[in-house]
């Protein structure tokens, strides 16, 4: 085989550059579920990732292993992002580990549906949802903007909920919608504040097959699937693919966008 033929063959076998090649990303709440899927999807598209977790250290390091398996650098940081000091620490760690931050995904959220969170009073559930899902998203977004604007730009993705657009019955829905509706409204304002250097988008998942779904009876999962026109639960990877699109140059003329990843359950 000639040198030219060998080079051509090697090029054909080499993976094509990803849509996020050369980018550096922060993904909060990435020890499992949607956050894990986004971190690994970003890595497969070429991004290095700094990921955070609150309690699940093993899960966070498993996610980091997935990032490294994709051939990218991974860094792990424990953080309680409802604390401003931890948000400041995350921003400092991002600069130290990544240098430049191009992408920032605010996925971290509190669990008031399962485990110890489900046993809390309504007031404490509200405090946690507002502190982690809303306040932390705002603080992290402001810190991300401070890093991105002087460096020439970037993309911030915030995670909301599709039913904030329509409402849903029940005390838990009221609490969750208050926090996630705040994320949506904040992000629309932030997109205008940071344009044109930084693009801001909202991911609004619907029924996604995470740990919560695993705890539901089979008949309940089936009924929920039938509510969506596409007749199935979403997967964390469905949300991750949407995140990659919004973070990439394919969405270069979009900002302030809310992408409903829900099989059409809310339109």
10 within some domain: no
Spatial distance between the Cα atoms of 219 and 240, rounded to a whole number of angstroms: 27
Spatial distance between the Cα atoms of 100 and 94, rounded to a whole number of angstroms: 8
Give the model confidence (pLDDT) of 133-186 as tens digits. 999 999 999 999 999 999 999 999 999 999 999 999 999 999 999 999 999 999
Spatial distance between the Cα atoms of 254 and 209, rounded to a whole number of angstroms: 28
The pLDDT score that the predictor gives to residue 213 is 84
3-state secondary structure 99-162: CCCCEEEECCCCCCCCHHHHHCCHHHHHHHHHHHHHHHHHHHHHHHHHHHHHHCCEEEEEECCH
8 within some domain: no
Tokens for 219, please give them: 């008949």
Output phi, psi for 260, to 5 deg. -85, 115
Low-confidence ranges of the chain (pLDDT < 50): 1, 5-15
> Domain containing 227: what range?
19-261
6 within some domain: no
Spatial distance between the Cα atoms of 153 and 194, rounded to a whole number of angstroms: 9
Tokens for 220, please give them: 């309940």
49 within some domain: yes
Angle of CA points 170, 172, 77, to nearest 5°: 160
Considering its fold, how many domains does the chain have in total?
1
108 within some domain: yes
Show which residues are catalytic.
Answer: 176
The pLDDT score that the predictor gives to residue 17 is 76
The pLDDT score that the predictor gives to residue 249 is 97
The pLDDT score that the predictor gives to residue 16 is 52
164 within some domain: yes
**In a 3-state reduction of DSSP, which class is residue 26?**
strand
Residue 85: CATH number of its domain:
3.40.50.720
Spatial distance between the Cα atoms of 69 and 66, rounded to a whole number of angstroms: 5
The pLDDT score that the predictor gives to residue 212 is 81
- Neighbouring CB atoms inside 10 A of 193's CB total 12
Starting at the earlier edge strand, list the strands of the sheet with 103-106.
74-78, 48-53, 24-27, 103-106, 154-159, 198-205, 257-261
Q: Which residues contact 215 (CB under 8 A, 6 or more apart)?
A: 114
β-strand pairing of 103-106 with 154-159? parallel
Spatial distance between the Cα atoms of 57 and 45, rounded to a whole number of angstroms: 24
112 within some domain: yes
7 within some domain: no
Q: Which residues contact 62 (CB under 8 A, 6 or more apart)?
A: 31, 36
Spatial distance between the Cα atoms of 53 and 79, rounded to a whole number of angstroms: 6
Helix%, strand%, coil% for the chain, nearest 5 = 55, 15, 30
């Amino acid at each position: 085989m000639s040198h030219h033929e060998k080079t051509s063959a090697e090029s054909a076998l080499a993976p094509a550059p990803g849509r996020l090649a050369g980018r550096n990303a922060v993904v909060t709440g990435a020890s499992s579920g949607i956050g894990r899927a986004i971190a690994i999807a970003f890595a497969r598209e070429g991004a290095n990732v700094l990921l955070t977790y609150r309690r699940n250290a093993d899960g966070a390091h498993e996610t980091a292993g997935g990032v490294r398996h994709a051939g990218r650098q991974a860094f792990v940081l424990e953080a309680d992002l409802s604390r401003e000091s931890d948000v400041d620490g995350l921003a400092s760690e991002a600069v130290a580990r990544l240098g430049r931050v191009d992408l920032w995904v605010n996925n971290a959220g509190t669990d008031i549906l399962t485990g110890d969170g489900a046993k809390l009073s309504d007031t404490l559930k509200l405090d946690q949802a507002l502190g982690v899902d809303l306040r932390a998203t705002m603080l992290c977004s402001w810190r991300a903007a401070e890093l991105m604007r002087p460096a020439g730009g970037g993309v911030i993705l915030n995670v909301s909920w599709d039913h904030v657009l329509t409402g849903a019955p029940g005390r838990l829905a009221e609490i969750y919608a208050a926090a996630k509706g705040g994320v949506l409204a904040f992000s629309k304002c932030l997109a205008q504040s940071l344009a044109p250097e930084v693009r801001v988008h909202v991911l609004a998942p619907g029924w996604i097959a995470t740990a919560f779904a695993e705890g539901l009876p089979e008949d309940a999962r089936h009924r929920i699937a039938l509510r969506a026109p596409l007749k199935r639960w979403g997967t964390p990877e469905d949300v991750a693919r949407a995140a990659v699109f919004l973070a990439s140059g394919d969405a270069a003329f979009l900002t302030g966008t809310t992408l409903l990843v829900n099989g059409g359950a809310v339109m």
